[in-house]
Amino acid sequence: MAQWYEGNRKLFRKEMRALASACPLMRFEVVGPRFRINNVYSLKHESAIAHGTYTLQVPDSTRQIEYGIVLLLPNNYPKRPPEMFCNDPKLPIGDIDRHIMSDGRACA
């Protein structure tokens, strides 16, 4: 099955530009099988991902919080949304109170 980015290069470029504008500390790229999402999860096939540091502005404050994340775009993107994986020690894997599953996937 062809990946979404192979059949829709225009959307791929659009998403790449949008991420660069909104999240300058993140990169959008295609990675191969065995790419390590975090210490627990590796990809089984080539995929488009966005990865790097996501900056969150704390409401009513000048304070910012930065997290290391990976967004995995599914084969049928944009029909299905990306899945977010944590790869930052501030977001401990398997900690139910933080809604991070045992593979580092954030709850939807």
What is the chain's mean pLDDT, rounded? 90
Distance of CA 60 to the CA centre of its chain: 26
To 5 degrees, how large is the angle CA 101–CA 1–CA 71?
A: 30
Domains of the chain and CATH, by start: 4-98 (3.10.110.10)
Q: What average pLDDT does the segment 17-28 reach?
A: 96
Tell me if 2 sits within 8 A of 46, measured CB to CB: no
Tell me if 51 sits within 8 A of 85, measured CB to CB: no
Categorize the per-residue pLDDT at 98 as very low, low, confident or very high, splitting at 50, 70 and 90.
Answer: low
- Asked if the model's pLDDT at residue 18 lies above 80, the reply is yes
Rounded Cα–Cα distance for residues 97 and 80 (Å): 26
pLDDT at site 1: 65
